[in-house]
Structure 1
Amino acid sequence: MNYTLHQLQVFVKVVQTQSITKAAEELFLTQPGVSIQLKNFQDQFDIPLTEVIGRQLYVTDFGKEIAELANEILDKVQAIDYRTAAFKGILSGRLKISSASTGKYVMPYFLSDFLKEHPGVDLTIDVTNKSKVIQSLENNEVDFGLVSVLPDRLKVDEELLVVNKLYLVGNKDHMPKTAKETKEIFNQVPMIYREQGSATRLIMESFFERTKIKVKKKMELTSNEAVKQAVIAGLGYSIMPLIGIRNEIYNGELQIVPVAGFPIMSDWRLIWLKNKKLSPLAVNYLEYVRTHKADIINKSFSWIDLAQKAHKH
């Protein structure tokens, strides 16, 4: 055996993407370059690692086992780099965060300056829905999760970040003619939902259940952006976090519908497993958040209160 770290990296990426084309794109290599490295790696084994049926690449069971071992080797090599940097007094390592999808409008502001201060830190963020965030925490795959609704069963510690305000919104050209500050409006408008497992979906359903409101469900979409575009197109209305529709409100593509009981309030919070022994990097990041949170909110999120005041007037 005479494989290289580069070949391991290429093979792992091919296994992850199930595609030479996608692996080449993510590694910033040419397709022929990836194909050559993959062939040179596979030729060192008597048992096939991958096979191509039609135009689809499949990873064999043996290939999956080798990919797991390759991942472990690459992690160890990365750990050597981090330990070397730490010995020099440089904060380094990989910070892993799983964020609910709308959290992409929150998390970058709590990371930007930290990463600038510590260039030796690598960041991995998985943007998904609340259910998968909780699953990642349960499997101990990440340091932190970002959610707007706390999990029911999982014991976690938390750090509040910023308020989350949700409003009923619609296309300004398709607003109900009889819109008043009353919940009766839900009898008039078709509602667009997020998918099951979404925190926004959970907040919506909890609101309707608590207020005993029956709604006309129009459709279900799997991302905040998809819901936003559907509402802009006039396909229906939705309850959406203000933090994800700032530009659309300001440029007039979306309009807040005045309804009693809104905004619905929750909080964006960083969570981690209770009693989890955080890495030195995770501890350092948590301390950074606690120290700089007020400044970050004032600098990047003060517009939320201004938008609410403008809506009331």
Structure 2
Amino acid sequence: MNITLRQLRILEAVVEHNSYTDAAKALFMSQPAISMQIKQMELQIDLPLFNREGKQVILTEAGHELLHYAQKIRQQLEEAELVLQELKGLKRGRLHLTMASTANYFAPQLIAAFHRVYPGAQVTLDVTNRTGLLEALDNNSTDMVIMGRPPVGHQLTSIRFMDNPLVIIAAPSHPLTRQTKTIPLKDLADELFIVRERDSGTRIAAERFFASHDMQLKTAMEMNRSEAIKQAVMAELGLGIVSLHTIEMELALKRLVVLKVEDFPIMRHWYIVHRDSKRFSAIPEAFLNFVASEASTLLQIPAV
């Protein structure tokens, strides 16, 4: 097989733009030239890469496989470029960081502190849910992720850098807020909870906690963001289980109350995670070391 890097870039462009014509414009080529390059690749592998459905071009199974390798090759070349530039003294200082949506409450402080030490760092930041984090790691499309419970069996390196307490929150008007003593967990058996989506680390931890106490977490609503859970709890639609990092402002304004419940908080942790095989340039390597050594002093868990 004699497919060139240029042809792989053309394949990526056609998929990205879902059009030969738009891919041609993006690459400053003619549409017939794009068609010819795709045809040459198909002759090389003796399989079609696209099916046409109206004006759309749909990847075949062979197209999906070749696109996967095209993306891997491009990512490795980008890593090689950074390493070689550093050897020449042309450090570009790029960091691609992907984080759980809950981490967005504290991670900007960490990035700002890092940027004061490394002002040349160019940070790309993506915020997504747990499914998106795992896809970014599996596809090697990010340098590292900030997340809760790391997955098992994905050939990953995880560095724990901070506690992540999960607490039960209520509207100030909720009857349980008037309790002066620790609330027995059994007293929550009939309470309804506003919860995160099923793949969320917070949801998984909460359900495991209740199951370990022979109880079931009764859910009233399912939300995909901590902000939505907080708003629903403030509207007296139920109780919530959230990271303590997400409610600092609401506690200060007395819009939410943390209930003192038996065996709470659920103590989880924040990790910075990357692929075992990831080869870092100077700035991502510096960020890893910075988080490991400085995060615990820079970031404070809100008091309750």
Provide structure 2 residue ranges, at least 5 long, that are not aligned to the other structure.
Answer: 1-8, 19-24, 39-49
The answer on 1:260 being equivalent to 2:259 is no
Provide the residue aligned with 1:95 in structure 2: 95
What SS is found at the alignment partner of 1:133? helix
Distance of aligned partners of 1:252 and 1:133 in 2 relative to their CA distance in 1, 3 Å threshold: same
Number of aligned residue pairs: give it.
Answer: 280
What SS is found at the alignment partner of 2:298? helix
What SS is found at the alignment partner of 2:186? helix
Provide the residue aligned with 1:176 in structure 2: 175
The answer on 1:185 being equivalent to 2:187 is yes
Provide the residue aligned with 1:272 in structure 2: 274
* TM-score in terms of structure 1 length: 0.69
Provide structure 1 residue ranges, at least 5 long, that are not aligned to the other structure.
Answer: 1-7, 19-35, 309-313
The answer on 1:145 being equivalent to 2:145 is yes
Choose between structure 1 and 2 for higher RCO, CA contacts under 8 A separated by at least 6 residues: 2
Answer yes or no: is the 8 Å Cα contact 2:171–2:257 preserved in 1.
yes
Answer yes or no: is the 8 Å Cα contact 1:156–1:271 preserved in 2.
yes
Provide the residue aligned with 1:159 in structure 2: 159
Pairwise CA distance, 1:138: 2.4
Pairwise CA distance, 1:249: 1.2
Pairwise CA distance, 1:196: 1.5
Could you tell which deviates more after superposition, 101-110 or 70-79? 70-79
Could you tell which deviates more after superposition, 250-259 or 155-164? 155-164
* TM-score in terms of structure 2 length: 0.71
Q: Distance in 2 between matches of 1:153 and 1:75?
A: 22
Answer yes or no: is the 8 Å Cα contact 1:90–1:118 preserved in 2.
no
Distance of aligned partners of 1:271 and 1:70 in 2 relative to their CA distance in 1, 3 Å threshold: closer
Q: Distance in 2 between matches of 1:171 and 1:178?
A: 8
- What letter is aligned with 1:290? A
What SS is found at the alignment partner of 1:132? helix
The answer on 1:107 being equivalent to 2:143 is no
Q: Distance in 1 between matches of 2:113 and 2:14?
A: 33
CA deviation digits over 1:188-226, x for unaligned, max 9? Answer: 421111001111101110111111123431011111121
CA deviation digits over 1:261-304, x for unaligned, max 9? Answer: 11111111112233x2431233222222234334323xxx1xx2
The answer on 1:195 being equivalent to 2:201 is no
Runs ≥4 residues deviating over 6 A? 12-15, 36-41, 43-47, 57-61, 67-81
Pairwise CA distance, 1:260: 0.8
Q: Distance in 2 between matches of 1:222 and 1:277?
A: 30
Pairwise CA distance, 1:87: 5.1
